[in-house]
Structure formats: C-alpha cells, structure tokens
Structure 1
Amino acid sequence: MTPRFRLIAASAAVVVIAFAGCSAPDSGAGASPASGTDEGGLSGTLTVFAAASLTGAFDELAAEFETRHPDLDVAPITYDGSATLATQLIEGAAADVFASADERNLAKLDDAGLLGGEPEAFATNVLEIAVQPGNPLDIDGLDDLGDEASARPLVVVCAPEVPCGTAAAKLLELAGVALTPASEEQNVSAVLTKVRSGEADAGLVYVTDIAAAAGEVDGVPIEGADAATNVYPIAELAGAANPAAARAFVEFIQSREGAAVLASYGFGSP
C-alpha cells in the first residue's frame, strides 16, 4: 500500500463516526456551491469507473445522487474487473471517480500520479462458493472443488490479477487445495454468469454476487473466508472533468446513506 492510503478505522464505533462525519443534508453530501441551479451547486456530467461486484449498489447510489442533484448527469457507470479498469485509466481513459475491489489496483493509479484525492475505504467483501440451485453435487467447501475431489466439478474462478482471483488463490492456498479451473474470468460477474447458465458447476464469487442472483444460484460459505477479505477503496481522479461532483460523490458513498445501501447488498464496513 502506498503512503497516500488512509483506511477508515476498523472498529464499528469509528466507522459510524466516519460515516456520520461524511454525511450531508438531503440536498447532497459534500457538494460544493460551484455552479448549476440545484442547492448543492453541482452540474455537468459525472463519469465513474467501478468494480463489477458493485453494479447493483452503485446503480442505486448513482440514481439517488442524481435525484439530489437534478442539474447533474451521472453517466452510465463503467463496470469491469478492477485490474481491467485500472489499465484503461492508466492508458488514458477519462473518468472522474474510480472505485476498486481492492487496494492494489487503485494503488497502481497512485503510482502513476492519477489520483486527485486520498483513497478512502468504504466497503468490504468476502468470497463464497456459487453452486447450482439445490447444490446437486453436495459441495460443502473448497475441498469438494479441488483436483482430488471425487465429483471433480467444473469450477470457474476470476483471473489471478483480478481481486476476486487474488482472494480465491489465497483461500485455496490456505486450505491446501489444488484446483485446476475450467476457466479464469476477467471479472466476478462473468464467473457468476457461467454458474447461473449451467456452464459451470461452481464458481468462487463474492457473497454480494450470490445475494444479487436472487435464487438463481445457491451459496456455500467458505470456512475462514475472512482471511481473504477484500477492502474496497474509492478516490477522485486527477484531471477529473468534474472535480466538484467527483468529490461530492466520493463523500456520498461514505455517508450513512451510502453505507446503508451498500449493507443492503451484503457489503461489510471497512
């Protein structure tokens, strides 16, 4: 982690204080009275890049942010694996805000001088095993996915450079399980899609993805999953076309309202 990173304190009491301090009145959190006619003074367009696992939560949060700032347009959020998004930004893609599923990929932007503000941790997530509804292969844990498993299910995982892939590799190593996946995907949504469609028997995804699948897959908890907890940081980007909106959006994500929405999708507090 680079020296610029400032993580929100781990204790629940401090997290509550942090969220309360970042909250804002109904007109919009952290808005600067720069331009526009809404009370918060935000206008123009806000462009956000975010990890694929944030899709449902960030779509809801972006809609609420637009409601609070009627002169501001939040462009359709670009979702993908954090490593893919970081590479696109380093190669010149334009965005105002980046929310990563891990600190490592946001640190790449810090190293490249592309951050316009201090990264802030706003959520956590852990992995679970996604299986077919009813769990027909009776998968109970990582041991049932490995090369030595009697059923030898078709298992898909995220690629190693993707945060969910890094977490999966760590958990498999800790469990002493050797796994040869059927495929390695570039984001967690692709892993879930393969299990949902029946192309795979199981996949390692986040608990939030299984919750969002609403019964299309079942989830099998992984013993010791918190050993590979992913911490999600967010930051405004240097050269943002709309820096006032970027800062306000980052603060809104950290607000009590933002935390409540994230919790409703299964995310934990940092």
Structure 2
Amino acid sequence: MHPDGERATARAAAAEGAVLVTGTAATTAVADVVAAAREAAPDPAVWFQLSPHPRREVTAALARRAADAGCTALVVTVDSPVFGRHTRDLRNGFTDLPPGYTAENMRDLPGAPPGGLTDVPMSPEVSWQDLDEIVRGTPLPVLVKGVLHPADARLAVEHGAAGVLVSNHGGRQCDTVPAALDCLPAVADAVAGRVPVLMDGGVRRGADIAVALALGARAVGVGRPVVWGLAAAGESGVRRVLALLRDEYDHTLALCGGRRNADLTRDMVVRRGEPRW
C-alpha cells in the first residue's frame, strides 16, 4: 500500500496513542516496527500477532522475538488453522507476496526460511494445550484472537488469556460466519469482566466504536480504514484516519448523553426489527 508500510503505520499509531498490532507475516521485522514506533513516542504500545506454527519451537521463537523487540503483548490467532479460500484473490491471480517482499519475522527460524506467505504455515492442530505453552513460555500478556463462541471465551480465560478478541478474521476465513458484533454481547457476558474483551471487523466510523463499547467491548481493532489512509497519504494518512475515528467517537458519545466510555450501555443499541423499548 505504501513504500514505508509497517514503519509509517507504527509511527502514526504511536503518535496518536493507539495500540499497533504487527503480524507474524509482516514484511518488516517486529524489532524494526517497534523501533519506528519509538521514533514517535517514547513508550509505544506495540503488540505482536502470533500465528501458531506446526513446529512449537518456531512458535516459541517468534514469541521470544516479540518480547525481545519490546512488544507489550502477544495476540494469538486461533481461527486460522488453515488459510481461508479467498476467491477474490484467486480471481485476481494473487497467490503470494510480490517479488522483493518477504515475511521478515520468519527469517532464520528452523524449518522456515524467509519468503512469501507460504513460509508462514499455520498449525492445523492448534489446541488449548498450545495456548497453555505460549502463556507459560512468555513474560508478555497473551490475548486470544478469533473468538466468537461464549464457551471458547470462557475456556480462553481459564487457560490464562489476558484478553479476548472477538473476530471473524474480517469474514475472510469461513464464509457465512456470523459478524463479530453479533457475537460480542454473548462473549462479553461469558467473560464477565474477568479480562478485557476487544472486537474487530467492520469498524468504519466512530459510531461503530460506540456500538461496540455499548455491547461490551473495551476497545476495537481497526484494519481497512488504516490501510486506506496509508495508501492515500502514508504516515499522515494513517494519523488522519485515527484522529477522525476518535473525533467521530467523541461526537457520538456526546450525542448519546455520555462523557465517559462507561456511559455507553447495551440498551442504547436497538437492532432492526426489535421493539423500541
């Protein structure tokens, strides 16, 4: 999307006080992403999205790299035991990263030479035991990403998760899966305040943030709008997107009669077809 890619996004997020989640398959190594964020803020919040690898020693090595780089949390993705069937990518002939781009976080790891996305295999056997090992093996708090069912949310907390991220992977993994927002209230009820609940998917305006917080989220993840800002204007474009979202959210909160996040309550959200109070 932009020659400065992850570095520009990291600087923008740090400058705006937002958490950046950099990924296992990023084309910029996690240490370089954290270094870029520190150019904009002395103590930025950079988290590392971790895709469990079929070889557990590779998963552990990735977690160590994230901690050594200065990341402040791991976000373990559990809804991608295999790649989804992305029909639009197939129609467009996109099967891997363009020449010259590599999954830098995989460099020099055993059995995983740097290369394209095919060098980031995901474990089809990921289990709660894997989560136990990740939690035990890292000093960082571990969030579990890709939770839609309340029973899984309860299990994640029981297995040491420091947070739960309600997500359907942007709808790109399994067709007909419910929207993350529809699953959010039940997951929030199941977690019952024991750990923070986050949500991503479909956040396009500040009002979307307000709805998610009213339904039980502590925070939201933003993906595509950030990419659009990056493509349009690089670092300044990402900053503009984040500032717009914050301004729109504040405006919506005020129009709902609120002054704090906690003033948003579930009864403020009325679904189509439901009775109006």
Q: Same fold (TM over 0.5)?
A: no
* Higher share in strand: 1
Which one scores higher on RCO, CA 8 angstroms, separation ≥ 6?
1
TM-score (normalizing by structure 1): 0.26
* Higher share in helix: 2
